[in-house]
Amino acid sequence: MTKGKNSSSNVFDINDASSPLASQLASEHRRREALSEKSVPMPEKTRYFTISNQKGGVGKTTTTVNLAAALAKNGLNVLVIDIDPQGNASTALGIEHHADVDSIYDVLINDLPLNEVVATCPDLPSLQVAPATIHLAGAEIELVSVVAREQRLQKALDAYARWRQREGLPRLDYVFIDCPPSLGLLTVNAFVAAREVLIPIQCEYYALEGLSQLLKNIEMIQKHLNSRLTVSTILLTMYDGRTNLAAQVANEVREHFPEQVLTAVIPRSVRISEAPSYQQTVITYDPNSTGALSYLEAAVEMAERGAPK
């Protein structure tokens, strides 16, 4: 077949370095090579994170499960605590969480030891999960009359760490607590149990809406319940490099929080959205995708920065 005059200028030719596809592939290749040369440092002691943002739909659960999976994939021992009654983190990590399953509700309300509800993620043996069930929906009311109601999760985590030590199990490197998008007693328990707050912020209009209120709430927790709590990490999510708005929002957030914002950003990604429907994180669902690469970069960067002094 005779080649046409313009056949050599095929826009899908990935050898053409000027094409957007080739440019993206080359960039991802460089990022993968840079990542492959790094080893993820183990923290000196367990790092306890609460992932929080009172604004819904910013990628809290997605960030929780994918950072946890990225660290576990690199050999670290990770625990995810799901205290959102919707149980989306439990779903994404392939953990059963129907009404008959012992869950974090039983830990908070019935004093069941955490080691009796923790399950292992089927895809990642070093990732443990304390699932949420629908019973958590009523936990806010039930906790009101409980003694030391704000410290229930912290005490359970301390007891779990001692149990692991007695059993000869390795120390946990990271604990991630996935919160509901409200400041009730469940979220307060998460803030009291944590040392660090990770805030996902989506690169869209109104990104900073509600953030000042969240920071005021964290300040209130620091003052009255947990003086060690600090906002250590901010992760930009749902980034669309094709829009000026995303770049503007990213710049604005970096101006406000220069020390806390990670260099890694999480793009809008079909793969990231699809993964939970297969009861997986994007790290295991499509490890070669841009979304998986971005979360791996964020996890490594967070680990390299270390805990705040």
5 part of a folded domain: no
Q: Rounded mean pLDDT of 285-301?
A: 95
Rounded distance between C-alpha atoms, residue 39 and residue 74, angstroms:
8
87 part of a folded domain: yes
Look over the chain and give the mean of its residue pLDDT values, rounded to a whole number: 90
71 part of a folded domain: yes
Residue 260 in 3-state DSSP?
Answer: coil
pLDDT value for 36 = 81
Rounded distance between C-alpha atoms, residue 121 and residue 281, angstroms:
10
Residue 186 has φ and ψ, to the nearest 5°, of -65, -45
Q: Is the pLDDT of residue 37 over 70?
A: yes
pLDDT value for 115 = 97
153 part of a folded domain: yes
Q: Is the pLDDT of residue 8 over 70?
A: no
pLDDT value for 89 = 96
218 part of a folded domain: yes
pLDDT value for 290 = 93
21 part of a folded domain: no
Rounded distance between C-alpha atoms, residue 253 and residue 259, angstroms:
11
86 part of a folded domain: yes
CATH number at residue 245: 3.40.50.300
Instruction: Give residue 295's identity as a one-letter amino acid code.
Output: Y
Residue 296 has φ and ψ, to the nearest 5°, of -65, -40
Quickly list DSSP for 44-94: SS-EEEEE--SSSSSSHHHHHHHHHHHHHHTT--EEEEE--TT-HHHHHTT
Q: Which of 80-84, 151-155, 239-243, 282-286 has the lowest mean pLDDT?
A: 239-243
pTM of the model: 0.90
Closest by CA position to 123, among listed 72, 175, 176: 72
Chain center to CA of 84:
13
Give the model confidence (pLDDT) of 103-142 as tens digits. 999 999 999 999 999 999 999 999 999 999 999 999 989 9
Give the model confidence (pLDDT) of 183-218 as tens digits. 889 999 999 999 999 999 988 888 777 788 889 999
37 part of a folded domain: no
pLDDT value for 17 = 52
Q: Is the pLDDT of residue 73 over 50?
A: yes
% of the chain beyond a pLDDT of 70? 94
pLDDT value for 4 = 47
Q: Rounded mean pLDDT of 284-305?
A: 95
Q: Rounded mean pLDDT of 34-59?
A: 88
pLDDT value for 21 = 74
pLDDT value for 5 = 44
Task: Domain of residue 225: give its range.
Answer: 42-305
pLDDT value for 14 = 40
**Number of compact structural domains in the chain:** 1
pLDDT value for 25 = 81
Q: Is the pLDDT of residue 167 over 50?
A: yes
pLDDT value for 263 = 95
Rounded distance between C-alpha atoms, residue 151 and residue 157, angstroms:
10
Quick one: tokens of 242? Answer: 């094709």
